[in-house]
Amino acid sequence: MARTRRPLTQEEIQGFRQILEKKREEIWEEIRNELKSRVSEEYHSLINDVNDEEDLAQIDLQEEVVLGVMEARKKELEAISQALWRIGHGEYGRCLECQDWICLERLKVRPWAVYCLPCKEELERLGRI
């Protein structure tokens, strides 16, 4: 099936705006919940009851995992914010590399996509993303 590249309708753009805003709220909720769990009594107890290097290593590992997840969430939030900015400035749906339209099917899967699939694949091949 050929993928068509075309400008998005205003209705489609508004639909993507709603999807992006909802996703942004979901991510913030996940971050809040993760932070709450990390400052919970159980976590403080674990920190206060460190008995040896193995306990300390386990705490460090848990913190690294949490920070890694938070970093990934931060990048996702930045991409969503950029997509919402592009919506507000009439640039949403255009590839940043070739300026052609990104396929609707791709945006449905990844509404914050900034490259069309051919450009994304080429940029990955060149090691630029």
Which residue in this structure is represented by tokens 């386990």? 58
Residue 24 lies in a domain: yes
Residue 67 shares a structural domain with residue 124: no
- Read off the pLDDT of residues 23-70 as tens digits, 9 standing for 90 and up: 999 999 998 888 777 666 556 666 666 666 766 676 677 778 777 888
Under 8 Å CB-to-CB from 86, ≥6 apart: which residues? Answer: 92, 93, 94
Residue 2 lies in a domain: no
Residue 66 shares a structural domain with residue 97: no
Residue 4 lies in a domain: no
- Read off the pLDDT of residues 62-92 as tens digits, 9 standing for 90 and up: 778 777 888 999 999 999 999 999 999 999 9
Domain that holds residue 110: 93-129
Residue 48 shares a structural domain with residue 108: no
With contact defined as beta carbons under 8 Å apart, do 95 and 115 qualify?
Answer: yes
